[in-house]
Amino acid sequence: MAPTYFNEMYQNGQVRPPYRHLEDWTAAMPAELRSLKQAEAEALFRRIGITFAVYGEGGDPDRLIPFDMFPRVFTASEWARLERGIKQRARALNAFLVDVYGRGEIVRAGRIPARLVYQNEAYERAVAGIVPPRGVYSHIVGIDLVRTGPDDFFVLEDNCRTPSGVSYMLENREIMMRMFPALFRESRIQPVDRYPEILRRTLASVAPTKCDSDPTVVILTPGHFNSAYYEHSFLADLMGVDLVEGQDLFVEGEFVWMRTTEGPKKVDVIYRRIDDAFIDPLCFRPDSMLGVPGLMDVYRSGGVSICSAPGAGVADDKAVYTFVPEMIRFYLGETPILQNVPTWQCSKPDELTYVLENLSELVVKEVHGSGGYGMLVGPKSTKEQIAAFAERVKADPGNYIAQPTLALSTVPTFVDQGIAPRHVDLRPYCLVGERVELVPGGLTRVALKDGSLVVNSSQGGGVKDTWVLAE
Amino acid sequence: MLSRTADNLYWITRYMERAETMARLLDVGARMSLLPSTGEGYHSEWESLLQASGTAEGFARKYGDPVQRNIESYFFFDRDNPSSIASCIGRARENARIVRGALTTQVWDALNGAFQEMRALERRPRSELDLSVLTDWTMRHSAQLRGAIDGTQLRKDGWDFLNLGYFLERADNTARLLDVKYYVLLPGVEFVGSGLDNYQWTTLLRAMSAHRAFHWAYGGEVTARKIADFLILNAASPRSLRTSIEATTVHLDRLARGYGRTTAAQSKARAVLAELAETRVSDIFDEGLHEFLTRFIREVATLGALVHDVYLSGDQR
């Protein structure tokens, strides 16, 4: 049976209210005008130099990710619910991090297995006992969501380290406003351009205890060969902070300094866009050339804040993901607003039985696998493949989890033949500091190939502007 | 400002000035090759240009004999030649990409536009591209960048580093071009004052876009002394050593004032300028033009190293 997909614009032949203006807009746009506009958008992207891969997919740094001009739209009330759910999740994830690097109450209470936390590769022993300023480990939480129905949103994964792509959210909007000002006059679309300002305020709000003046914030980048370098430089520019590489920083006395043309300048908050393993060769990987020797000592003694804090990765691990609803109940005493994708743990006998009986409809993954290896996509596999995989699961059930194949919603998209529905996902960026804030918008990725559910830009994915309407 | 940012800004303009010099060299070569050959024992003009620009070895390894078409490719397109126009523009643009936030949109557009057009040129068949098209193209983009910098960059320290790159590179390049003519191009002492000699001087002036300016300033016959005066000592000549060093001191003084700190680079620049201001053209020829230029090129290198030490390295505590 072919699954039915939720079309975000059309339901039962009717246009859903948030997309009302867009119907007239497309009707008034002949094919020639459309290709002109598409070329114009591409030229704008190239001119500003926004050519990078999202989510560290690598590839040519001058490659352009296809931009689809048809926006994705949420109503104010749809967004209000998403916003509550996202903020709730971001708060719980941070509470979890402070807990597992502290007393570990959630483990003692038996709500999450100790093995999953303390033997996790992403658990950073070096920061055990540290409570970062305001108790925040993850300051920018990127939560990947998919929609399957009018009110059905599922969290695919949490990104607590350094989620990328926010520059697309900002630039997509900038380009849409330049090309279609009339659309913005007709619809009341909430702005996203305060993001850099809020990010800066968030970062400044977690300045270390030893900082007694207006904190100096910097962004730490691996360098201009990194695929997300454009984003690092774009954010630094919009926030009005310096973009530094490891070689620009050094440790002396109790502080971190940057090399400037006027001599050394003290740095208080580092928004790092490099992985834990690389930030301090004295503490983590000794062969790293990207980091700053001695940085972790200064961090431990409260001389500098690092965002996200080292060790934050343990909260966005695939196996830990399953327990996020539990974290929400445990730390916040609330009911989770956003659902996890239902996950069957093959380690539990009754769930294993269900998985084995329904393999042809499920996606089965290795707990610690990544990049699509060691994985079975039931609906796209042959009987033989399924039978062979079943044997592997039976041999080592604890190593596998299973999830249903999700029916990602679609949004109309410009394609060669005109306009057609294509599958989308969503990544909003939640900021956590003194306050928990979310700008109304995010990055919508779209699978441009007909029927494809893969939105990754390395596999034919593109991006769309994401609108949240005002009341 | 971050020292590394200052360093990137400084190299953007050094590379662009160098690209322009390469285009000027190509012009010199093309014009000189229109002269009838002077016979045995005389390297072709192209060979001389390769030696002058310090690229003879790399070229010989890759192409062998200096054939004009290959030299054009090597000077313009070849990424294996670190001084080629394509290499210079590529690196200038890469430096700009790194410090995109320190540049205005117009400046970025000028550099990125040149880079994108360069990629388009690389895709076109070489037979469609005359040398003059390529050199004009280079000059135009170089001028566009300079205009964008002058017209739109804030007059802060970043602007000074951009200008330091321009003027230090220009001082070096003018000295080298002059030395090429005097030391490398002319086949022997017996040619001094010959028709070939004069023709080469005129060509050099043309390549420096200074042919008319020279005649306004000096009139009459083109002689080595007049040209040396024009390109070394004349404070009105836009590419002269004097003008380049004077501008360098202006920008170093501005930085010292802005940062409230005097530097060794500033003192050095002032000393070089003072010497140029007091030198007469007869002093230069008494010392020997080649000897004078060699010494000057070394002085400029020292000055560049001092700028690096005090501002760009970040080691100043």
CB contact A380 to B (< 8 Å): no
Distance, CA of A232 to CA of A223 (rounded, Å): 9
What average pLDDT score do residues B102-122 get? 92
- Please write the tens of the pLDDT for every residue from B214-250: 888 888 788 888 988 999 999 999 999 999 999 999 9
Give the mutation candidate from A242, A261, A290 for the B interface (greatest B CB count, under 10 A).
Answer: A261
Interface of A with B in 39-68 (CB under 8 A): 46-47, 49
The shortest CB-CB distance from B101 to any of A236, A248, A260 is to A236
In the predicted model, is pLDDT for residue B54 greater than 80?
A: no
Bridge partners, residue A257, by sequence: A250, A266
Distance, CA of B296 to CA of A263 (rounded, Å): 30
Which residue range(s) make up the domain with A375?
342-404
According to the model, what pLDDT value does residue A53 have? 41
Contact residues, chain A, for B312 at CB < 8 Å: 261
Q: Does the N-terminal peptide bond of residue A308 adopt cis geometry, omega within 30 degrees of 0?
A: yes
Chain B residue at shortest CA distance from A228: B98
- Kindly determine whether residue B4 and residue A247, on different chains, have CB atoms separated by under 8 Å: yes
Asked whether A297 and A251 are in contact (CB, 8 A), the reply is: yes
- Phi-psi category of A24—alpha, beta or left, where left has phi over 0 and alpha has psi -120 to 50? alpha
CB contact A248 to B (< 8 Å): yes
Interface of B with A in 144-183 (CB under 8 A): 157, 161
Which of B217, B280, B275 is closest to B249 using CA atoms? B275
According to the model, what pLDDT value does residue A381 have? 82
- Please write the tens of the pLDDT for every residue from A77-102: 999 999 999 999 999 999 999 999 99
In the predicted model, what is the mean pLDDT of chain B?
A: 89
- Kindly determine whether residue A49 and residue B112, on different chains, have CB atoms separated by under 8 Å: yes
Bridge partners, residue A189, by sequence: A469
Chain A residue at shortest CA distance from B311: A261
In the predicted model, is pLDDT for residue B114 greater than 60?
A: yes
Which region among A194-208, A369-383, B296-310 has the lowest average model confidence (pLDDT)?
A: A369-383
Interface of B with A in 92-151 (CB under 8 A): 94, 97-101, 108-109, 112, 116
In the predicted model, what is the mean pLDDT of chain A?
A: 89
According to the model, what pLDDT value does residue B95 have? 95
What average pLDDT score do residues B138-150 get? 96
According to the model, what pLDDT value does residue A133 have? 96
CB contact B261 to A (< 8 Å): yes
Tell me how close the Cα of A246 comes to any Cα of chain B, in angstroms: 11
According to the model, what pLDDT value does residue A343 have? 87
Per-residue pLDDT band at B43 (split at 50, 70, 90): low
Asked whether A403 and A376 are in contact (CB, 8 A), the reply is: no
- Kindly determine whether residue A262 and residue B259, on different chains, have CB atoms separated by under 8 Å: yes
In the predicted model, is pLDDT for residue A113 greater than 90?
A: yes
Chain B residue at shortest CA distance from A225: B98
Classified as helix, coil or strand, B307 is helix
According to the model, what pLDDT value does residue B36 have? 65
Tell me how close the Cα of A261 comes to any Cα of chain B, in angstroms: 5
The shortest CB-CB distance from B157 to any of A229, A259, A261 is to A261
Residue A393 lies in a domain: yes
Classified as helix, coil or strand, A282 is coil
CB contact A224 to B (< 8 Å): yes
- Kindly determine whether residue B1 and residue A260, on different chains, have CB atoms separated by under 8 Å: yes
The shortest CB-CB distance from A248 to any of B4, B94, B161 is to B4
In the predicted model, is pLDDT for residue A410 greater than 50?
A: yes
Classified as helix, coil or strand, A169 is helix
Which of B290, B237, B247 is closest to B270 using CA atoms? B247
According to the model, what pLDDT value does residue B41 have? 39
In the predicted model, is pLDDT for residue B70 greater than 70?
A: yes
Q: What is the 8-class DSSP label of residue A444?
A: E
Per-residue pLDDT band at B55 (split at 50, 70, 90): confident
CB contact B311 to A (< 8 Å): yes
Distance (Å) of CA A70 to CA A78, A183, A292, A468: 19, 11, 44, 14
DSSP symbols for A290-306: SS-TTHHHHHHTTS-EE
Contact residues, chain B, for A247 at CB < 8 Å: 4
Contact residues, chain A, for B255 at CB < 8 Å: 261
Tell me how close the Cα of B153 comes to any Cα of chain A, in angstroms: 15
Give the mutation candidate from B2, B95, B112, B157 for the A interface (greatest A CB count, under 10 A).
Answer: B2
Domain boundaries of chain B, sorted by first residue? 1-152, 155-317
In the predicted model, is pLDDT for residue A3 greater than 90?
A: no
Q: What is the 8-class DSSP label of residue A328?
A: I
CATH number at residue A369: 3.30.1490.270
Per-residue pLDDT band at B317 (split at 50, 70, 90): low
In the predicted model, is pLDDT for residue A443 greater than 50?
A: yes
CB contact A370 to B (< 8 Å): no
Q: What is the share, in percent, of chain A residues with pLDDT greater than 70?
A: 94
What average pLDDT score do residues A347-370 get? 83
Asked whether A267 and A258 are in contact (CB, 8 A), the reply is: yes
Which of B156, B101, B96, B4 is closest to A240 using CA atoms? B101
In the predicted model, is pLDDT for residue A430 greater than 90?
A: yes
According to the model, what pLDDT value does residue B40 have? 41
Chain B residue at shortest CA distance from A221: B98
Contact residues, chain B, for A264 at CB < 8 Å: 317
**Which of residues B91 and A471 earns the better pLDDT score?**
B91
Question: Which value, to the nearest 10 degrees, does the dihedral of the CA atoms of residues A38, A41, A43, A45 take?
Answer: -140
**Which of residues B46 and B233 earns the better pLDDT score?**
B233
- Kindly determine whether residue A248 and residue B317, on different chains, have CB atoms separated by under 8 Å: no
Distance, CA of A306 to CA of B127 (rounded, Å): 56
Per-residue pLDDT band at B22 (split at 50, 70, 90): very high
Amino acid at the residue A244: V
Residue A140 lies in a domain: no
For A87, the token pair is 């903020």
Asked whether A341 and A403 are in contact (CB, 8 A), the reply is: yes
According to the model, what pLDDT value does residue A371 have? 44
- Kindly determine whether residue A49 and residue B100, on different chains, have CB atoms separated by under 8 Å: yes
CB contact A243 to B (< 8 Å): yes
**A-B Cβ pairs (cutoff 8 Å, strict):** 62
Distance, CA of A446 to CA of A101 (rounded, Å): 37
pTM comes to 0.86
What average pLDDT score do residues A283-303 get? 88
- Kindly determine whether residue B255 and residue A264, on different chains, have CB atoms separated by under 8 Å: no
Distance, CA of A233 to CA of A49 (rounded, Å): 11
According to the model, what pLDDT value does residue B138 have? 96
Tell me how close the Cα of A433 comes to any Cα of chain B, in angstroms: 26
Asked whether A320 and A311 are in contact (CB, 8 A), the reply is: no
Residue A384 lies in a domain: yes
Which region among A6-15, A70-79, A225-234 has the lowest average model confidence (pLDDT)?
A: A225-234
According to the model, what pLDDT value does residue A288 have? 75
Total number of domains in chain A: 1
Which region among A208-212, A337-341, A451-455, A460-464 has the lowest average model confidence (pLDDT)?
A: A451-455
Residue A129 lies in a domain: no
Which region among A166-170, A361-365, B136-140 has the lowest average model confidence (pLDDT)?
A: A361-365
Q: State whether the Cα torsion A136-A139-A144-A145 is positive or negative.
A: positive
- Please write the tens of the pLDDT for every residue from A241-276: 999 999 999 999 999 999 999 999 999 999 999 988
Which region among A102-116, A124-138, B19-33, B229-243 has the lowest average model confidence (pLDDT)?
A: B19-33
